[in-house]
Chain A
Amino acid sequence: MLARPGLPDFEYMKAESPQDVFRLLEERGGEVKLLMGGTDLFVQMRDGNESAGILLDLKYLPGMKDISYTKKKGIKIGAAVTLNQLSAHPDVTNHFQILSQSADTVGNYQLRNRATLGGNLCNASPSADMAPAALVLEGEVSLSGPDGERVMALDQFWVGPGKTALKEYEFMTAVCFPNPPSGAVGRYLKLGRSKMGDLAIVGVAVLGYPDPEVPAGIRFRIGINSTAPTVYRVPQVEELLAKAPLSDDILRQASGEAMKVSAPIEDVRATVLYQKKMVNNLTFKGLKEVWSQLINS
């Protein structure tokens, strides 16, 4: 394989304060690209798909690499926390295990020393591995702009492939997750062409937790990637599962419904039919695994 051409010319700048970011974006907006881990941006720049006059590094802004947890509020993860830091952090492994699981499926170990949670979410790839778990954990993103900080539910954040609800001059500072309901169990299942470094053909995150208020006794949340313009939940399927006592047949029916909702496009990795069938299979497998774990715990 021939080496790629080097990175195109740009100026690297390290943001010292949020004001630095707003000022530069205001003065030279069109030329500026925001840099986190760069694992996608550098590849895109080398391939000629992205260019920038200035790369503005946000990693060193205050709080961007912090993780804080409280029993009351849950966890706040700085946007520049790397996926390896996230995966190994005791508050994540103890309370948000599905985030660790998801992080471990991204690329490879050395890549995850650079790739960040914020980068993965802001990239708004339909196949983002952190997104299904972030959705079922009902995360919120903190966005910083010249008018101050605002918080947005993640299900409002992605508006299309590569597109987010970030306004001009805004950037993501952190992602917050409330504590999952008591007794919750989560599972992220990813299908790629190979185990190494590949993007998800389909990824399904399932979170289940006991809920005596519903006939099923368990509530599920399901997040799916790679099979629509954005990563999505399937509330109609979640409702269906809550309505009746659980059985393999109900799980199969629900997985079939998830397959109907999915809207993949044919691409280099898989056909539409294959992706839809894999939504069916992975949803069933995820539901079954979580259900079994809940019954046995």
Chain B
Amino acid sequence: MVIHQISLIINGTEEGLQVPSNMTLLHALRDKLGFTGTKNGCEAGECGACTVLVDGEPMNSCLVLAVELNGREITTVEGLAENGKLTPLQQAFADLNAVQCGYCTPGMLMSATALLRRNPQPSEVDIQEALLGNLCRCTGYQRIIDAVLKASRNGGAK
């Protein structure tokens, strides 16, 4: 087993860590660094529960090796709220009950945050397309879409 010394800038803080070649970003975040907000779902790039931002762009952390990202900036769901104040998107999820079991929520928030940053006034179709890679088995999606629309009217991602 080959171990690599890498550093990741996670939610603005540099973290040094040692990872084996085959450790995905998902497992590095959860098992090495304790960022358990990022969820492990299918590990096949289909469910989106593990979505994080890498240099601002959403990626499935289950399909990226941690060693590939040496020196890159990672944002997890823990990095959205500042000083306990939810982002307009998180607040809209809470206000509109866009969360039921909550397992998909971190991934949804990361994909939707990236969407609102690249397209601050998305249409409903834009939101559907941006969240195609995030599965939710509880809500039926409509409340999630409504929450993203509400957030887009209330200041966007942040």
- Give me the interface of A with B, judged by CB distance under 8 Å: 1, 3-4, 6-12, 37-39, 42-43, 46, 55, 57, 84, 107-111, 113-114, 195-197
Q: In the docked arrangement, what's the CA distance between A9 and B43, Å?
A: 16
* Closest A residue, CB atoms, query B110: A110
A3 contacts B63, C-beta separation under 8 Å: no
Residue of A12, A107, A109, A111 touching B130 (CB-CB under 8 A): A109
A114 contacts B132, C-beta separation under 8 Å: no
Interfacial chain A residues near B51, Cβ < 8 Å: 110
A195 contacts B27, C-beta separation under 8 Å: no
Interfacial chain B residues near A46, Cβ < 8 Å: 43-44
Residue of A109, A113, A197 touching B46 (CB-CB under 8 A): A197
Whether A11 touches B133, Cβ cut-off 8 Å, given contacts A38-B63, A57-B68, A110-B58, is: no
Q: Does B111 contact A (CB under 8 A)?
A: yes
B1 contacts A9, C-beta separation under 8 Å: yes
Q: Which of B20-77 contact A (CB under 8 A)?
A: 20-24, 27, 40-48, 51, 54, 57-60, 62-65, 67-68
B22 contacts A9, C-beta separation under 8 Å: yes
A42 contacts B63, C-beta separation under 8 Å: yes
A110 contacts B60, C-beta separation under 8 Å: yes
Whether A110 touches B20, Cβ cut-off 8 Å, given contacts A9-B1, A46-B44, is: no
Q: Does B2 contact A (CB under 8 A)?
A: yes
Interfacial chain B residues near A42, Cβ < 8 Å: 24, 45, 62-63
Q: In the docked arrangement, what's the CA distance between A183 and B51, Å?
A: 41
* Closest A residue, CB atoms, query B65: A12
B45 contacts A43, C-beta separation under 8 Å: yes
A110 contacts B48, C-beta separation under 8 Å: yes
Q: Does B4 contact A (CB under 8 A)?
A: yes
Q: Which of B105-156 contact A (CB under 8 A)?
A: 111, 114, 129-130, 132-135
Q: In the docked arrangement, what's the CA distance between A245 and B132, Å?
A: 42
Residue of A1, A7, A11, A113 touching B59 (CB-CB under 8 A): A113
Interfacial chain A residues near B20, Cβ < 8 Å: 9
Interfacial chain A residues near B114, Cβ < 8 Å: 109
- Give me the interface of B with A, judged by CB distance under 8 Å: 1-2, 4, 20-24, 27, 40-48, 51, 54, 57-60, 62-65, 67-68, 111, 114, 129-130, 132-135
A288 to chain B, nearest CB (A): 24
A113 contacts B45, C-beta separation under 8 Å: no
Q: In the docked arrangement, what's the CA distance between A1 and B130, Å?
A: 23
Whether A12 touches B133, Cβ cut-off 8 Å, given contacts A107-B45, A110-B58, is: no
A7 contacts B22, C-beta separation under 8 Å: yes
Q: In the docked arrangement, what's the CA distance between A38 and B59, Å?
A: 12
Q: In the docked arrangement, what's the CA distance between A8 and B42, Å?
A: 16
A40 to chain B, nearest CB (A): 9
B40 contacts A3, C-beta separation under 8 Å: yes
Interfacial chain B residues near A10, Cβ < 8 Å: 21-22
* Closest B residue, CB atoms, query A37: B63
Q: In the docked arrangement, what's the CA distance between A113 and B133, Å?
A: 12
B133 contacts A107, C-beta separation under 8 Å: yes
B63 contacts A111, C-beta separation under 8 Å: yes
Q: In the docked arrangement, what's the CA distance between A173 and B65, Å?
A: 22
B59 contacts A114, C-beta separation under 8 Å: yes
Additional 19 contacts, C-beta under 8 A, given A110-B48, A114-B64, A195-B132: A1-B47, A11-B2, A12-B2, A12-B67, A37-B63, A39-B45, A42-B62, A43-B44, A46-B44, A57-B68, A109-B58, A109-B133, A111-B45, A113-B57, A114-B59, A114-B63, A196-B132, A196-B135, A197-B132
* Closest A residue, CB atoms, query B129: A109
Interfacial chain B residues near A1, Cβ < 8 Å: 41-42, 47
Q: In the docked arrangement, what's the CA distance between A38 and B26, Å?
A: 15
Instruction: Pick the 10 closest A-B CB pairs, nearest first.
Output: A108-B133, A12-B21, A110-B58, A7-B22, A4-B43, A196-B132, A108-B132, A11-B2, A43-B44, A113-B57
